[in-house]
């Protein structure tokens, strides 16, 4: 009987300490899962606009009327992506004596390189579309506000600039699936741009 009590007294502390749960360990931040739709496109060819292009069916075209009046820019458009909390901003300008092509290209360059502070890198490959237009597609690495931007022109009359922004704090890692998804849409949009004049 004494032996049972002594054995129980020795085993009881071992059993009680063995059943303790592990101390809590903080978990790393997680990111929301993003369900991306299938790429599909429709045409934008509105009367009165000097350009046409194809854009994603899950995007909505809108205009900031106040900005258009303030900038005297009736052809500036936004393509909003509510499910991704993102917008592609399109700004159109005519190439004129007051705003020659080299000035518009320089302005686009400055706007894209304004992200240098947060960018890890900025790549600027030039391109030529199947419609004979030329331009530059800016890829901005790191936690910059805009990961992708472009300009496209016919070099004589028309100049269109686009930039992709997300309506939240930039985090390249968490936004990568959405930015890469929308990059394909921007490339398709650029390839389908046609100027009417």
Amino acid 154: pLDDT:
96
Least confident range from 20-24, 38-42, 126-130, 169-173: namely 20-24
Domain parsing of the chain, residue ranges: 41-195
Amino acid 140: pLDDT:
85
Q: Which two tokens mark 26?
A: 């903080």
- Give the CATH superfamily of 41-195: Mog1/PsbP, alpha/beta/alpha sandwich (3.40.1000.10)
Q: Is pLDDT larger for residue 173 or for residue 161? A: 161
Least confident range from 21-35, 98-112, 141-155, 179-193: namely 21-35
Calculate ∠ Cα 12-16-19, nearest 5°: 140
Amino acid 57: pLDDT:
97
pLDDT one-digit tens code per residue, 102-130: 999 999 888 877 755 666 777 889 999 99
Rounded CA gap, 11 and 35, in Å?
54
Going along the chain, which residue ranges are E strands?
41-44, 51-56, 60-62, 77-81, 86-94, 119-123, 126-128, 134-142, 148-153, 158-166, 194-195
Amino acid 18: pLDDT:
59
Amino acid 163: pLDDT:
94
User: Is the pLDDT at 8 greater than 90, yes or no?
Assistant: no
Amino acid 116: pLDDT:
57
Calculate ∠ Cα 91-96-99, nearest 5°: 65
Amino acid 35: pLDDT:
80
Q: Which of these, 82, 139, 96, lies nearest to 115 by C-alpha position?
A: 139
Q: Supply the pTM of this predicted model.
A: 0.80
Question: What confidence category does residue 29 fall into, taking pLDDT thresholds of 50, 70 and 90?
Answer: low
Question: What confidence category does residue 77 fall into, taking pLDDT thresholds of 50, 70 and 90?
Answer: very high
The SS3 of residue 41 is: strand
**Across residues 124-149, what is the average pLDDT?**
90
Q: Are strands 126-128 and 194-195 parallel, antiparallel or unpaired?
A: unpaired
User: Mean pLDDT of all residues in the chain?
Assistant: 86
User: Is the pLDDT at 92 greater than 90, yes or no?
Assistant: yes
**What percentage of the chain reaches a pLDDT higher than 70?**
86
């Amino acid at each position: 009987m004494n032996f049972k009590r002594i054995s129980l007294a020795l085993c009881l502390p071992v059993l009680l300490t063995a059943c303790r749960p592990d101390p809590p360990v903080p978990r790393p931040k997680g990111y929301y899962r993003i369900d991306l739709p299938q790429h599909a496109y429709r045409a934008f060819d509105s009367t009165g606009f000097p350009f046409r292009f194809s854009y994603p069916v899950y995007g909505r075209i809108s205009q900031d009327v106040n900005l258009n009046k303030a900038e005297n820019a009736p052809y500036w458009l936004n393509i909003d992506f509510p499910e991704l909390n993102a917008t592609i901003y399109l700004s159109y300008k005519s190439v004129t004596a007051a705003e020659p092509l080299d000035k518009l290209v320089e302005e686009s360059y400055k706007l894209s390189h304004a992200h240098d502070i947060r960018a890890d890198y900025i790549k600027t490959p030039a391109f030529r579309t199947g419609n004979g237009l030329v331009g530059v597609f800016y890829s901005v690495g790191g936690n910059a506000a805009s990961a992708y931007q472009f300009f496209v022109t016919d070099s004589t009359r028309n100049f269109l600039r686009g930039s992709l922004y997300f309506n939240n704090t930039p985090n390249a890692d968490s936004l990568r699936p959405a930015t890469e998804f929308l990059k394909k849409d921007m490339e398709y949009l650029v390839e389908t741009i046609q100027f009417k004049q």
